[in-house]
Every structure is written in structure tokens, then in C-alpha cells.
Amino acid sequence: MDKPRIKEAIVVEGRYDKNTLSQAVDATILETGGFGVFKQREMVELMRRLAQAQGLIILTDSDGAGFLIRGHLQGMLNPALVKHAYIPDVPGKERRKRAPGQEGKLGVEGMPPQVLLEALRRAGATFLEADSPPPPPRLTGAEMFALGLTGRPNSAQRRAALLRAMNLPERLNANALAQLLPILCDREDLERMSNNLESENALQ
């Protein structure tokens, strides 16, 4: 059975949350890196751009840390473009952890798919129909190679230069770029920016 497609980008705290959510829905999913988002101006800027392009849903854990992160983002983003999804308070710990978290609650990582889907529905997520226009396709490996962003001796340097030029988080890897670039800019703009990277100054 195909996973339901969500129009909005969804923000979670960490990679285990992202892994769990990606098994339940087909959507653009961003990680805050926990409290790391407090210091990542570029990540917040990326969230603003995705909120403008397709809307944004914040889905953090139900503990104090999750609400602190949610509150921080709420103050940084346009509330008209942001929806909030909440998971229930469920006592327990995730399988990979030796001990429960400080408040003894399961996070997004520990939620079954049906619970996450219900949380997104309550938040007003836009569930796309099967015949809805698909999101922009991610760049293929061949396209990333043609742009010089993978498979070449200076690809890492070119990606770093592109991230700086687009004011994106420096820790975004090639896989994340392949998904996000078609959302943030059209192919002509992408090719123009890639051509600009050919200058020696851009790669310094």
C-alpha cells in the first residue's frame, strides 16, 4: 500500500523521528537537530522558504524539550504558514534506548504510524489525492553529477559553495540537496547558480 502524500514540509527533532515518520508518510521532512536549531540561522531560513513554498507542520515530542523547540520555531516563522501536530503523552521508552527520557514519554520515534497520521490529520495536514500533481521530482544521480554536485573531485567543495550561495545549512548532504533543490528553485535558476560555481572565487 502506498504511503499517503502530505503537501506540507514536516519538521521533527532528530533522525530517528525522521526515519519513523518517513515510514508513515511521503513528505519533505526536516530535522532540527534537537536544540541545535537554536543556533542554526540557515536552518530556520530554510524552514521559512519551505513554509512559503508548500506550508510547514511542526511535529515535535510531547516533552518539555519538544515544546521548547516548538515555541522557538513558532516565534521565528510566519504563523499563517505553520500548522502544529501533537503526539499524545504515552509512557515508555524507544527500543534503541537503555532508559526512558527524562519525562518518561515516548517521542515521535516511538509512535505507531496510525498515531502519527492521526496527529497530522488533526493538525490540518493536506493529504494529496492519488491524482494530485506530484511534488517536484528530486534530482537524479545523473543530474547531480551533471551539476558537479556529486561524483567529482571537487563536488563537496561545490556543494558547500552552493549551500553558502543559497543561504542553506552547511550540514545538508547530497541526498538532502537532491530533494530540496527542486522545491526551492526551478531548473533554470539551479543551472545558473551551478554555472556561477565555476568561477574560482565561488569555490574558495
Q: Where are the beta strands (DSSP E) in the chain?
A: 5-6, 9-12, 29-31, 56-60, 82-86, 127-128
Q: Report how far residue 131's alpha carbon sits from residue 126's, in angstroms, rounded to the nearest whole number.
A: 14
- For residue 133, what pLDDT band results from cuts at 50, 70 and 90? confident
141-200 per-position pLDDT tens digit: 999 999 999 999 999 999 999 988 888 888 788 988 998 899 888 888 888 888 887 664
In one-letter notation, the amino acid at residue 203 is: L
3-state secondary structure of 33: coil
User: 57 - beta bridge partners?
Assistant: 10, 83
Q: Pick from 147, 187, 13: which is nearest to 87 by CA? A: 13
- Work out the average pLDDT over 107-116: 94
Q: What is the pLDDT of residue 201?
A: 46
Evaluate if residue 204 carries a pLDDT over 70: no
Q: Report how far residue 17's alpha carbon sits from residue 29's, in angstroms, rounded to the nearest whole number.
A: 10
- Work out the average pLDDT over 93-117: 85
Evaluate if residue 202 carries a pLDDT over 50: no
The x, y and z cell numbers of residue 33, run together, are: 537537530
How do 5-6 and 127-128 pair as beta strands? antiparallel
Q: pTM for the full model? A: 0.82
Evaluate if residue 91 carries a pLDDT over 70: yes
Q: Report how far residue 169's alpha carbon sits from residue 179's, in angstroms, rounded to the nearest whole number.
A: 14
φ, ψ at 178 (rounded to 5°) = -60, -30
